[in-house]
Each structure stands twice: as structure tokens, then as C-alpha cells.
Amino acid sequence: MGKYGHFSKDGKEFIIIRPDTPAPWVNYLTNKTYHVLITHVGGGYSFYISPKDSRITRWRYNALPWDRPGKYVYLRDNENGEYWSLSWQPVCKPPVFYQCRHGLGYTIIEQEYAHIRSTVCYFVPLEDELEVWHIRLINRGNKPRNLSIFSFVELCLGHALVDLINQPNDQHFNDVRFVQEDNAIYATKRYWVTYSGPTVKQANQAWNKWVYFSSSLPVIGFDGSRNKFIGPWRSESNPLAIEQGKCSNTMITAGDAVAALQNNISLAPKEELEFTIILGVVDKPHDRGLRTPVEPARKLAKPFIKKYADSLNIDKEFNQLRKYWDWYLSHAQVATPDPQMNLALNIWNQYQNKITFLFSRNASYYHGGLLFGRGYRDACQDALGPVMVEPDAVKQRILEMAQNQFKNGSVMHCYFPITGGGERTGHSDTPLWFPLAVTNYLKETGDFAILEQSVEYLDGGKGTILQHLLNNINYVLNDTTNRGLPKFGPGDWNDTLDYLGRQGKGESVWVAMCLALAIKETVQLLKYLESEKKLQSKGLMYQTRSIRSLRQKYEQAYFKLANTINRLCWDGNWYIRGTNDWGEIIGSKKCKEGKIFINTQTWAVISGIAPKNRAIKALDSVRKYLDTPKGPQLVAPAYTEVNPRIGLATRCVPGKKENGAVFNHPVTWAIYAECLLGRGDIAYEYYKKALPPAFQTSKKIKVKVKPLFPQSKISKLQSEIIYDPADEDIYEVEPYVYAEYVTSPEHPTFGQASHSWLTGTAAWMLRDGLDHILGVKPTYNGLLVDPCIPKHWKEYSVTRKYRDATYHITVKNPSGINCGVKEIWIDGKKIVSNLLPIFPKGESHYITVILG
């Protein structure tokens, strides 16, 4: 039980028990197109597909008070004029009871103030493009109450960045109307920026959506003007309309837009009232500026207004949402001796990964959704988890990513799904994630036909998915220095090593390893497809001969690359990180700072290029020089001096972000690499350290900041830190999901996390748990069982749906070892290998695995 909250008994809700958390704690409410971020106190914003291009409601960046505006319902006692909000914020009256339950796709805020018990359940139905606020009020006092209800959102209506930086002009296109018959406000914008360049180049077009905001109770007042509803020199905390108990009934054609609805009710003692507010979007088929008729929008919105005014339909939709998540999670369920790991793998890690798949690094409280769109490398990795459950969605994503490639194999580094465009930054790793996403998809689904699917390149012409994949590899393979190592370019996975290689001379050793893995995976795929029979059975048109010669070509490339890395990049106890345009080495014992980077140690193992003795030494160095009580740092010692020949990493404060934080995404690769070496105890230790505070048991530890290197200046600044990994005040952000990074002991705020929710950690941690620790790995030929667990585990089980069959796997560890399979039994029959066959659709099988 944390200070601020805890999981529900079934683990499917995180229950926040007081509103004054150290940061806004967020949840996501989403379907395929309509998305909401909501905090435990009702803050947050809504958007349609793209948080930049089609923002429905506003959210104020870096503002104080923070986490404003939101999805607010206010109550006003008309006897005495007192008012409060049902989500604590923004009025912040001290409730006698408060609880927020963040569930899978819904958030319920329950509160009691002035004898009125209120529950607001926020959710987005699975299909309809709207959000529901289902509200229940109970009069728990013994006096009849005469109350006004004000529901309120502040509207953005289109391009969120333009709204932020060009509001004085952009507000002239707002159009807010009220339609009594629908109890609804309709709002739109008569202009829509879709090109993120200079505004003079903008198309002459209107936003293609109408927003509607409707109450299931009769509306007796409304406002579309923010100035009128909130009033001058006021905020959401004390709106004038509420203070006066009366809206001004404003409809606007210019100005800051809001949607506020007023209902008046009376509640007898013990009486209950249920009602619903919905906020949704519909298409705008006509655009006639000020004279754009609202009728077509009403026609589209009215069925939804009607549907959601009926609480039976709300219950139905809410139950469907819950069923969807039960179904989603049922694809992989584990029962290990570690309840915290079970909770993470069975529920929250899967949930977080689905959210990262939907939003890349593009819509959170840290990624405001204004800048980069969908990250190419991020999207490829985020698919790792959802592919187990929703392969069709991943297939669509693969095709979408293929559309964002050029003929030569280079790719857009980020792109915008609604408006198109993006940026071709030239990051050296980005193309390599596509082959990994495709091979992962194929191992899970066996859908080899995708390889022959033809997709257009951005610069014209078409190629099959296999061709796209090979182009990616060829592009990086051909873009090497004369020593045969990939060029660093303007950055690799580490975006902040951004001034090493802009002149095309610096080399990324990590990209060399990533390339080696992409080639290795491709060789494996080609090898699988190589026989004529296989090709025919998969309906593929390729010739065995051509597949074989491709395979041989890439095999040679792999060995050459592995040889080059081992010849040039071994530093004695670890692999260097790269070289810069001036020929200086990065990540070497000879460097003053930034001596060792984690990624080239872990990927040396993951890519398979490291000989056994070097693999062990490299991972031992991670443990010796990078590990902290929260897991291994990204680099050590952190940079204290700006180095213009390295870049942004050296400008960042030591111990945070890419300058030596415990960056959880690379920690997942350390776990993977440790499993590959069979060191299950270390892998498990890293896994446990990385779990967020709600998965930790409270244990105060004294951390002596060991000088990682004698010359580390930073470590001398620190003496002893008392640290509790379960302390939510230290961690600050949501304790139920992974954050991008946790501050390392090299900074005084050690243990503080940032950039929660949207991080590659979610996808990889899930696969670390399922594939590498618990050892159930999809391959082209079936599920391979190859666990790497802590020695003290005696037994665990995994239920995994794979290619439409269900595998119930129990693993026993009678000799207390980390890895090694001695026997496998399927439905009571012993088999000779540790590869479980692909079972026919719908079948269920019971498998017992004995380690030894």
C-alpha cells in the first residue's frame, strides 16, 4: 500500500486514495480513432487520431496551476452559492472522501463533498468516436438540495500547435453554436492548418470535424465563450458563470471556445441521480465558412446523443470495454513465484505496451503531441507486444511504415498519420527497425504472404515488403566509413549523440551491432524460406536459388561486420560506443568522461557478434561500472563538461536523461543479453529493479554512491542517500507504469522518474519477461521453450495463445538452475526437442517442461 495508492485486488485498477500526488497521474481512454488523456483529478485532453492536427480540447503546457484544463463537472449549491468540482481539481475543495480508479481504458473518480457523493466514470467506447462521462450523484445528507450542474471543456478545434502559438489569429475561425433540441453545443473551426511549415503556405480549408458536447439532462444554460463563462481575471477554479449560478448563453464566431452546459436539479435526501455527458466528433461534409450548416453534423451526432442518454447502453458499452481488455490480456498470462512480476506481465505491462503502440512518443504529459508525430523506430518496437494479440493492427502498421520509406532504403524518422509528411532526419539506426518488426511479425503469425505485398515508396515506384526490408539493410550496409562501420550521422538510437557524426566520418558501433542483428534475423528468415517446398506452401513466387544466394550474401556480410567490430571496437573490458568526425573514440577507458555505454555491451551479445569471453566481460563491465540500486545507467561517468564533438548528451545535467540516467529502455536490453548468456539471477535482478514503485515492496536502503571511476567528479559530490524504491514521492510520476528514465545517483534527485507511459521499455520489458526470462519464444517453426530464470524458482506456468492455439506450459526447476531444458512433455507425451509445434486452430495443449 503506497502513500498515494495501490492496485485493486484483481490488479486491474490502480486506486489513488488522495488527490495531492507528486505529479498528475495519467490514464489513457482510447479506441482506434478517439483518444483521451485523463489524470486522476480530471485534467487532460482529447484528440481525434492526431494530437497535433486534430486536437479536440485544449491542454496548457508548462502552466501553473499544472494539469489544466480538463474534463470538469462542477456542482453549485443554489441555497448558499457554494460550488466544487467532482474531480477535486480545479476548485480543489477538500473532499471528505476521494478515490480515483484508473482502470484499463477507463477512469472513475469518486468523491464526497458537502454531503453529495459523486462518481464520474470516464471512458471511450470501443467503436464510437466520443468520450462518455457517466455521473452519479447521491444526496447523503438529510436536507433536500437545490443544485446546478455545470459541465465544461475548453476547446482547441484543430491544429494544437497553431492554437498554442498563434491563438490571437486562430481564434477568429472558431464557431460554437447551441442546439436546444439536442441539449448540445456544436463547435468547429473554419480554418485548418495541416502543413507544419510557414503559415503562408497553408491550404484554404476548414477543419473537417464538428465537435458536439451534450448532456442527458435538460440544458437550461450554456456558454461557448470562454471569456463569458470563466470571466475576466479568473480561471477554471472560480468561473464567473458558476459563481453567479447562471451561464450567459453565448454562441461565438470568434474568441476562445469552450463548451459549458448547465442543468438545474433537486435531490431529496438519499435520492440518486444518474446522467451522462458526451463529447464526440463527427465529420463535416460541408464548408461554407460562417454559413456552414450545423444540420448535417446534428444528423450524424443525434444517434449517439440518443444512444448515450440511455444508461443501459452505457452499461453495455462499458462492459464491452472491460471484456475487450480481458480478451486482450488472455493471450499471455503467467503465474510465477513473484506476484509483482505476474501483475506487471499479466496486466499493466501489456496495457502500457498497447498504449505505446497507439501513441508512439507522441501524446503524453511529456510528449505534448505537438512536434514529431509517429516515430519510425519507436513504432517498430512498440509492435512487439500487440503482435501477440492484434496481428492485423500490426500488419497495417507495417504497411504504413513501408509507405514511409524511400527507394534507397532510407526512411522518414517520424511521420504524421492524418496529414502526411514528417522528417527524414538521417538517424543511422532508423531503417534497421523495420526488418526487426517484420521478422517478429512473421514469427508470431506465419503470414509470409505479406512479404510479397507491394507498397509504394515515398519517392515513386513500388516494392514488396521483402524488398523494403532488404533495402533497409542495404542502405545501412552501404553507408559505412572506409573501415566498414556504419556512419553515426545526426544520431542513432541515442538521439543526443547528435554532433558526433554530422560530417559523415564518425562511426556508430551500436548501429553496427543493430545492423548485425537485422542481418542475422533476415538470414534466419531466408533460411527458413529456402526450400522450394516451403516457398510453394506459403504461396510465394520466389525462386529457391535466388533466396539461397541472398541468404549467402547476407551471411557473409554478417561475418564481415562481426569481424570488423571485434577487430576495431574492443576496448579491453568492453566495446567502445563509436568514433566522431574528428577520429576521437567515444566510450573508451581512455575518455575522461562517458567511458562506458551500456548499449554496445548488451547489443554485442544480442546481435551475436561477441565471442563468449568478450560477451561475459562486456556484461560484467555493465554490472561493475554502470549498475545502481535502480538498475544500470546508460553511460558512466556522466558528462560534466559540454563536448561540442559529442552533442546534447553532454549538455544535459549529469544523471538525467541520456547523460547517464537509468534509461529503462536499454535496461531491457541488458536483461535480454543476460538471458542469452544464461545468467538468470542477474537478468531477474535487473528486471526487479526496473519495476515501478507500485510493484516494489517498501525497503529503505542506504546507497553509498560508489565512485564508478576514480576520476568521476560527480560521485564525489554525493555521499550517502537513503533510498526506498517503493517511495512514490521520490519517483513522482505514475507508479504503475514504466517511465523512460529514472535519475541515477549521479544527480541529487536520484530515483526521480520522468517521461512515464510512452517508452520503448514497455514493449521490450514484456518480451523480456515472456520470451527471455520465462522462455516462451515464437519462431518460424513453433514456440521455443528456453527459460532463463532465477535459481530459487521452483515452478511457474505460462498460458500463451500462439497462431490460434493455446499453450498451457508448466516449467519445473527441481535442480534449482537458471537455464537448460531436460525434458518436455506435451499432453503426457515426451518430445525430443524444446520446440513446441504449431497446433491446429482452436486446440489447447498442456505442456510440462523440466529444467535440468
Residues that bind ligand NOJ (CB under 6 A): 361, 375, 377-378, 493-496, 658
CB of 368 to ligand NOJ, least distance (A): 14
Rounded CA separation 41/44 (Å): 9
CA distances from 121 to 12, 110, 364 (A): 15, 9, 21
Residue 656: HSE in the Cβ half-sphere, 13 Å Cα cutoff: 11
**Cβ proximity to ligand NOJ, 85 vs 360, nearer residue:** 360
Q: Number of H helices and number of E strands within the chain?
A: 22, 43
**Cβ proximity to ligand NOJ, 106 vs 376, nearer residue:** 376
CB of 525 to ligand NOJ, least distance (A): 25
Q: What is the number of the residue whose Cβ is closest to ligand NOJ?
A: 495
Rounded CA separation 117/111 (Å): 6
**Residue where the block lists cell 536459388:** 545
Which residues are 27's β-sheet partners? Answer: 38
Q: How far is CA 279 from the centre of its chain?
A: 24
Q: 545 φ, ψ to 5°?
A: -60, -45
**Cβ proximity to ligand NOJ, 145 vs 755, nearer residue:** 755
> Whose CA is closest to 458, among 426, 422, 428?
422
Q: Residue 849 carries which side chain, given as an amino acid letter?
A: V
Question: Do strands 272-283 and 130-139 pair parallel, antiparallel, or not at all (unpaired)?
Answer: antiparallel
Which residues are 423's β-sheet partners? Answer: 414
CB of 850 to ligand NOJ, least distance (A): 40
**Cβ proximity to ligand NOJ, 177 vs 361, nearer residue:** 361
> Whose CA is closest to 400, among 352, 453, 355?
453
Helix axes 391-402, 349-359, angle to 10 degrees: 30
**Cβ proximity to ligand NOJ, 317 vs 429, nearer residue:** 429
CB of 752 to ligand NOJ, least distance (A): 18
CB of 495 to ligand NOJ, least distance (A): 4
Provide the 10 A C-beta neighbour count for residue 374. 23
Tell me how far apart the terminal alpha carbons of the chain are, to the nearest angstrom: 38
CB of 361 to ligand NOJ, least distance (A): 4
Going through 582-725 in order, the beta strands assigned E by DSSP cover 585-586, 596-597, 635-636, 662-663, 701-704, 720-723
**Cβ proximity to ligand NOJ, 593 vs 658, nearer residue:** 658
CB of 816 to ligand NOJ, least distance (A): 38
Cβ–Cβ under 8 Å, residues 79 and 53: no
> Whose CA is closest to 54, among 381, 316, 417, 338?
417
Q: How far is CA 416 from the centre of its chain?
A: 17
CB of 607 to ligand NOJ, least distance (A): 17
Cβ–Cβ under 8 Å, residues 249 and 223: yes
**Cβ proximity to ligand NOJ, 256 vs 658, nearer residue:** 658
**Residue where the block lists cell 515501478:** 692
**Residue where the block lists cell 528468415:** 525
Residues with catalytic roles: 495
Q: 721 φ, ψ to 5°?
A: -120, 135
**Cβ proximity to ligand NOJ, 110 vs 740, nearer residue:** 740
